[in-house]
Amino acid sequence: MHPALATALSRGPVRAASLPANMPGWALTNAVRAGHVVRVLPGVFAAAGTTPDLVRAAAAYVDGRGAVSHTTALGLFGWTLADGRVHVTVPPRVRLQGSDLIVVHSRKDFEVEAPWVVRRKGFVVTNIEDSLVAAWPLGTEPWRTGVVVEAVNSRRTTALRLATALAGAPHLPDRHALRRIIDLLAGGCRSPLEIFGAERVFHGLPGLRRQAPITIGGRTHYLDLYAEAERVNIEIDGASWHARSDQRERDLRRDAALATRGILVVRFSYRRLIDTPAAVRLETQRILDTRRDGPRSTAAVL
């Protein structure tokens, strides 16, 4: 193999048009014929016997005319979904051919510049909001909801910015499901389990506020679901609740602080919410009914 070609390929897949100008034209052709080099994508080559970096190959193929997008972009943001293919987005004036390894998406309002794109790990990628929205139909539950929730919780985006991105994708498959998740996040839900509870368990129960702030002794606590009139705080405990003694101790102190304000804390376990949502809803309704007319005291774990 020609030394200049070997040097170029040592850094990963390369576009033929970007090979050194002083390299003989026959060097690549001969290397392919000899089986030393393989074609990964149209016009993009890698050294034989290696596992090519498909994201780098796609970036070489696009060559500044588009950006890594969809699930591939989310992988660069830290959320990996094994799609098996690389996704890129280009403006409509750019004509690129897809293959079994690369999916080329054409977007009419897209430009390879801010605010449409950012740089991530050395690659040009679609911004986080557009990446989350575009990847939504490609993911399955609970992965896709978990990624959207984590993106908002980690303050890498907001429900408002996601809603704006979604408004620019009117024909997105399963769009209504993402719209519902965004609305729940905007309303205060902060975990997939809270979203499940809001949709499947507590939906329609009157007077419940999500993530209601209560300040006691100079410290603000955010209550998962708060019925202010009945002074009942419903906490939705994840699967790992009780797993750490320090976390449990913090929760117990918080419950005691709320009790000084006459607030009853009711905790429902992950397993009960998932396995018996109808029973949880019925118990919640009974607790609220009792608190309207009966005594107000203590905390409960159900």
pLDDT, tens digit, for every residue of 249-297? 888 899 999 999 999 999 998 889 889 999 999 999 999 999 987 655 4
Asked if 53 contacts 12 with a C-beta cutoff of 8 angstroms, the reply is yes
Give residue 141's pLDDT: 87
Give residue 78's pLDDT: 94
Burial class (CB in 10 A: 0-12, 13-18, 19+), 28: buried
Separation between Cα atoms, residue 88 and residue 30, nearest integer Å: 30
pLDDT, tens digit, for every residue of 139-186? 998 899 999 999 999 999 999 999 999 999 999 999 999 999 999 999
Mean pLDDT of the chain: 90
Give residue 198's pLDDT: 84
Separation between Cα atoms, residue 50 and residue 148, nearest integer Å: 34
